[in-house]
């Protein structure tokens, strides 16, 4: 370890700077700085040499060029144990810079505050990341600090080792520095991609800021954390009002529920999710009725699930909710009395989603060293392109239920069958390897919990029926209208079976797999 002689400080966030300056002064470490940081250091009463004085080069281009100078980068990058490097530094009369404390222009914050492209571009930091990368590369000799949260550990190191830092500390800070530069650059590149509506660039980087460490992952032996990846917000805007900390599985179910809830369900709607699949969905003029109907769809599966509502929870709805064990309640606000009732269940997570919003147009899935990226499935079908392939035609009222059934169907794991009556699910068959089994499960659940509603009900399928056996199962249960994409080589056979049973069948021409 070599004692630190010179430190370069250039920070946008000047909080807690005084603590650092005290320890540097105590260890007789010279400070170099520029711009606003230089003024702040002097204002705090500490000695500091301005970068332009240090380099004998006046900053230019409105401050775009100030730290981009050989004296700065040579001081950071030179190998202290290499004779050639030492000679070159002595010849130029350049001093080593052993400590670099830098954070960047607030480009990420600026995106959230302004849409003025000129202002945003001026907040793309060039000198800062250049110094950080240089210092991180040369971590064998240089300490790089990019986060004010690390000031405490730096102070501890300097106190303990009398103006020096350890190799392991420098290496750890270097890793953190490269994470920051990668994160910063990925935000800038994502901003450009969105400006150009470029969903699938040749090279894709993801950025994320850790929100919290979760208790565990999908299973107790797996570690897990949640990150935010947003150009618009510093928060995922799920405001937890009560209950235990959220788990990996809670978040997985929450996002599955929110996807359905934010899929343009305009009437008061309730979604109940279990293991990332809906077990009940209902839209109704009455918010209370929508909850009751959603739960009635499959009350056994609803137990221990999550409830997502696009309305404010009233006292009456809270009383109904509290009759069953739910893991999470999501809603657009809670009345005071309702909140008091729900908070009696200490472990139940109560979350306000009033400020939640979707941002990205794509969705991804990771597989070890590769990932898939696709556009979000925001489409349902075009009414004008619906094709009634049977002799009997649906009414206008039935078309509303047809759309509701097909909308819900696209959020159910494939193969998916959803049976609906009056804008409420009454039977859902999910995640089966064949469509016939999904039909049997949907019918079985409807017969168990909603037998009276099966007569004249509507069924939706996320993909075509390869054989007539699936629709026969639905018909025998009382389904009178089926909506499906069509496109099977046996469509004729399926249509004949539908006509024979005098039911109505609609082809959408749109498939909605959700694996």
What is the DSSP secondary structure assignment for residue 150, as one 8-state letter?
A: G
Active-site hit among 137, 172, 244, 337: 137
428 contacts 419 by C-beta, under 8 angstroms: yes
502 contacts 393 by C-beta, under 8 angstroms: no
3-state secondary structure of 192: helix
CB neighbours of 264 closer than 8 A, spacing ≥ 6? 407
Instruction: Look up 22 and say whether it is catalytic.
Output: no
Closest Cα partner for 385 from 505, 509, 487? 509
Task: State the Cα–Cα distance between residues 76 and 59, nearest whole angstrom.
Answer: 19
**For the chain, how long is the longest CA-to-CA vector?**
97
Is it true that the peptide bond before 447 is cis, omega within 30 degrees of 0?
A: no
Pairing status of strand 225-228 against strand 239-242: unpaired
Q: Locate tokens 């989603």: which residue? A: 353
196 contacts 159 by C-beta, under 8 angstroms: no
Task: State the Cα–Cα distance between residues 75 and 32, nearest whole angstrom.
Answer: 12
Instruction: Look up 275 and say whether it is catalytic.
Output: yes
List own/partner pairs for 145-148 with CB under 8 A and 24 or more apart.
145/99, 145/100, 145/101, 145/102, 145/173, 146/102, 146/103, 146/173, 146/176, 146/177, 146/180, 147/103, 147/176, 147/180, 148/11, 148/13, 148/15, 148/16, 148/103
Active-site hit among 176, 275, 343, 345: 275
421 contacts 385 by C-beta, under 8 angstroms: no
Residues involved in catalysis: 137, 275
């Amino acid at each position: 370890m070599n004692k630190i002689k010179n430190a370069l400080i250039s920070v946008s966030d000047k909080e807690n700077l005084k603590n650092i300056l005290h320890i540097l002064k105590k260890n007789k470490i010279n400070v170099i700085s520029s711009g606003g940081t230089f003024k702040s250091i002097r204002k705090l009463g500490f000695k500091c040499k301005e970068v332009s004085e240090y380099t004998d080069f006046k900053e230019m281009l409105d401050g775009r060029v100030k730290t981009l100078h050989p004296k700065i980068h040579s001081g950071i990058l030179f190998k202290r144990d290499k004779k050639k490097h030492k000679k070159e530094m002595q010849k130029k009369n350049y001093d080593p810079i052993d400590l670099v404390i830098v954070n960047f222009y607030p480009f990420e914050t600026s995106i959230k505050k302004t849409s003025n492209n000129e202002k945003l571009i001026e907040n793309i930091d060039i000198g800062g990341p250049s110094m950080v990368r240089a210092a991180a590369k040369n971590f064998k000799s240089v300490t790089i600090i990019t986060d004010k949260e690390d000031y405490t550990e730096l102070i501890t190191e300097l106190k303990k080792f009398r103006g020096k830092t350890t190799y392991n500390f420098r290496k750890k800070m270097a890793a953190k520095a490269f994470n920051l530069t990668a994160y910063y650059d990925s935000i800038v590149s994502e901003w450009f991609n969105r400006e150009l509506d470029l969903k699938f660039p040749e090279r894709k980087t993801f950025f994320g800021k850790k929100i919290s460490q979760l208790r565990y992952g999908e299973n107790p032996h797996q570690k897990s954390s949640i990150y935010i990846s947003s150009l618009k917000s510093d928060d995922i805007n799920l405001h937890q009002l009560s209950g235990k900390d959220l788990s990996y599985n809670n978040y997985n179910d929450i996002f599955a529920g929110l996807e359905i809830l934010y899929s343009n369900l305009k009437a008061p709607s309730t979604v109940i999710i279990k293991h990332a699949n809906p077990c009940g969905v209902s839209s109704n003029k009455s918010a209370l009725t929508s909850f009751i109907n959603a739960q009635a769809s499959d009350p056994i599966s609803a137990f221990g699930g999550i409830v997502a509502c696009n309305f404010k929870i009233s006292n009456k709805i809270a009383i109904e909710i509290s009759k069953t064990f739910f893991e999470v309640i999501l809603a657009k606000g809670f009345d005071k009395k309702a909140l008091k009732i729900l908070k009696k269940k200490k472990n139940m997570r109560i979350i306000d989603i009033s400020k939640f919003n979707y941002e990205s147009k794509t969705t991804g899935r990771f597989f070890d060293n590769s990932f898939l990226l696709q556009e979000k499935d925001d489409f349902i079908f075009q009414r004008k392109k619906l094709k009634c392939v049977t002799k009997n035609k649906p009414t206008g009222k039935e078309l509303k239920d047809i759309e509701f059934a097909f909308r819900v169907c696209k959020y159910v794991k494939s193969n998916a069958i959803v049976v609906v009556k009056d804008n409420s699910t009454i039977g859902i068959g999910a995640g089966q390897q064949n469509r016939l089994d999904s039909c049997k499960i949907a019918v079985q659940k409807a017969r168990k919990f909603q037998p009276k509603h099966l007569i004249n009900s509507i069924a939706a399928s996320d993909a075509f029926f390869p054989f007539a056996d699936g629709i026969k199962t639905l018909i025998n249960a009382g389904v009178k209208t089926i909506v499906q994409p069509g496109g099977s080589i046996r469509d004729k056979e399926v249509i004949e079976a539908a006509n024979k049973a005098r039911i109505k069948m609609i082809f959408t021409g749109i498939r909605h797999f959700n694996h």
